[in-house]
Amino acid sequence: MNKKEVKRGLVPYLFMILIMLGIFYVFNVMNKDINNLTYNEFMEELNEGNVESMYITPRSNAKTYEVTGSLKGYKDNESYFSRLPMSEEVMKKIVELSETQKFELEAKNDPESSSLLLILINVLPFALLIFFAFFFLNKQMAGNKSSLDFGKSKARLNDSNNKVTFADVAGLKEEKEEVEELIDFLKNPKRFQKLGARIPKGVLLVGPPGTGKTLLARAVAGEANVPFYFISGSDFVELFVGVGASRVRDMFQQAKRNAPCLIFIDEIDAVGRQRGTGLGGGHDEREQTLNQLLTEMDGFGANEGIIIIAATNRPDVLDPALLRPGRFDRQVTVNLPDVRGREEILAVHSKNKILAEGITLSHLAKRTPGFSGADLENLLNEAALLAVRRNKNKITMSEIDEATDRVLMGPAKTSRKYSENDRKLVAYHEAGHAVIGLKLDNANDVQKVTIIPRGSAGGYNMMVPSEEKLCSTKTDLLEEITGLLGGRTAEEIVFGEITTGAHNDFEKATKIARAMVTEYGMSDLGPLQLEQQEGSVFLGRDYNKSQHFSNEVANEIDMEMRKIINDCHAKATEIIKKNTKLLQLIAETLLEYETLTKEQIDYLVENGKMKDDDEETSLESMSITKLRELAKEKGIKNYSKMSKAELLKELDV
């Protein structure tokens, strides 16, 4: 809580204290019984010796003395008041009688002789009344002002202290060139106007979450020397009808006063959805807001020097009127980065991190296909947190491997206990995937195999493409399905039994097979697109999937899918039966080491065994047997029942 908030909180209490003091004072004054005596009555009481106390206050302006006090027989709350002429004879007589009658006599200063006291007595009460009247009136006006500001725009100017430039945006070379053109126009408009060029009024950034759309907009703000307003699409829509449209009008009015300027609207799909859609009609308030936005962007009025940048990951739900030329003239697709882009992104996010020797960013980029910029930043951050937790001075490959697993699958379930039979089933299942990946030319490369449970999986096999491709061939898809079926096939051959462990593999394989038949035209049905993924996005993505076939064709689709799956399963069975020894070697090694990296798998396939534990430089690469020996030497209890992860934890890794 800051000092201003503290002061504001104390004002009501101070006001209450003053009111209570005033009430207490008035109460005492009103409850006090005062008897007004004339000069003769007072002198009579004085001569008779009835005075018990006397307080004399001179009044210079009136040439009198004000006398108060109590008489004999008065109650505690009873007193007298009288005025005496200001003369020496009167004062002399009072002093003489006080000496003989022994009553209390006290003289007070004239309050009118002190100008400060006079001001306090006469002016202070009125000043306090004026102050509190002004205070409450101001509060009332502030409340009315806030209610009147309800329709004001919530767009905020960018803070120049938190500056992001294009140097902080990596992997988006073409995208940066597109928005750099906007900045050049704002800085030197005559250069474009000379040839009759018109700068786009709006630029729509489209792409999956985490690819850097908002970061790119922040970089534009950092590079441009013009006002930059930013707002979220949800800030326009309110419960009350008309507020959103009012905020749009106010936002453009502010922008016109500060033109040339940039406006960034994040998540514009919150306000720019198609009108007149959905069950029960549209959302009237949102549609009014969208109508106002369309009018302001390209209506009768001109918005010279105002450029709008918007971002969304749902371009399919935007209203067509919003995307036409003259409004959002240009769409910039911000896709997931390729291997070169990932390397540049890793270089940006690793500037403030200490990496161990031997870790190359190009190697990390190859191991992380499909990662967005946000995923890569999170990967390095998780690796740094793990290094600190393990009391290391540098981030090693071990932390990066663990961080990759955390990002993809979640933290390891080291506390989960399962039987040796379950461990063996998982080991042969994952080894089956690895064998298919090793023996098929077009299959993905095996990067890591583990039987340590993560999330809902008992183990997993990380396989990445040997090289990134723009398009996938039919052979690529068939071999990918074959690799997915390798785990179930290994279970059937080794144990003669099947388990539920291949549930996720079947889900992925079935999805690929159906897409091959209904979307890609890779079956005997011919080059036909029988299904479209874009259903009614307002009723759910797949709630109303568009289908263009009869019941007979639906039966043929099922038959073609079954044929693809069965052929791939037969091929997987053939490969694993021919490589039973390799399957057993990988499975038994997994049972001993629990996790195998690509380098270890390559060495194992080439030499038929793992490196000796004495040659390994890290505990993570050692077998469970060797780790248990080290635990025994250190006197760790119950080491024989611990898993590899628990042993590494006890050995301070």
- Active-site amino acid positions: 430
Task: Of 650, 480, 445, give the one whose Cα is nearest residue 564.
Answer: 480
On whether the CB atoms of residues 390 and 653 are closer than 8 A, the answer is yes
Task: Name residue 153's amino acid.
Answer: S
| Residue 421 CB partners (closer than 8 Å, separation 6+) | none
Query: What gap in Å lies between CA 255 and CA 262, rounded to an integer?
Result: 8
**Nearest CA-CA partner of 251 in 271, 280, 276:** 271
User: Cis ω on the peptide bond leading into residue 260 (within 30° of 0)?
Assistant: yes
For helices 474-484 and 551-578, the axis angle rounded to 10 degrees is 70
Distances (CA, A) of 231 to 105, 175, 293, 324, 381: 78, 21, 13, 22, 28
532 Cβ contact partners less than 8 Å away, ≥ 6 residues apart: 519, 545, 546, 548
Residue 637, Cβ density class (10 Å: 0-12 exposed, 13-18 middle, ≥19 buried): exposed
Nearest to 271 by CA among 232, 298, 309, 215: 232
DSSP state of 425: H
Euclidean distance between CA atoms 588 and 611, whole angstroms: 15
Give the residue among 339, 362, 335 at the shortest CA–CA distance from 350. 362
Q: What are the tokens at 47?
A: 């001569």
Residues 6 or more apart whose Cβ sits within 8 Å of residue 83 = 39, 62, 64, 65, 66, 67
d(CA 341, CA 32): 89
* CA-only gyration radius of the chain, Å: 43
Both tokens assigned to 179: 């928005």
Which residues does residue 330 pair with via DSSP β-bridges, in sequence order? 203
> Rounded CA gap, 22 and 283, in Å?
56
DSSP string, 501-564: GGHHHHHHHHHHHHHHHHTS--STT-S---EES---TTS-TTTT-EE---HHHHHHHHHHHHHH
Take residue 33 and report the two structure tokens written for it.
């019984």
Q: What is the DSSP string of 567-613?
A: HHHHHHHHHHHHTHHHHHHHHHHHHHHSEEEHHHHHHHHHHSSPPPG
**CA 120 – CA 97 distance, rounded (Å):** 36
Sequence length of the chain is 653
User: SS3 of 108, please?
Assistant: coil
- Select from 322, 320, 296 the least CA-distant residue to 153: 296
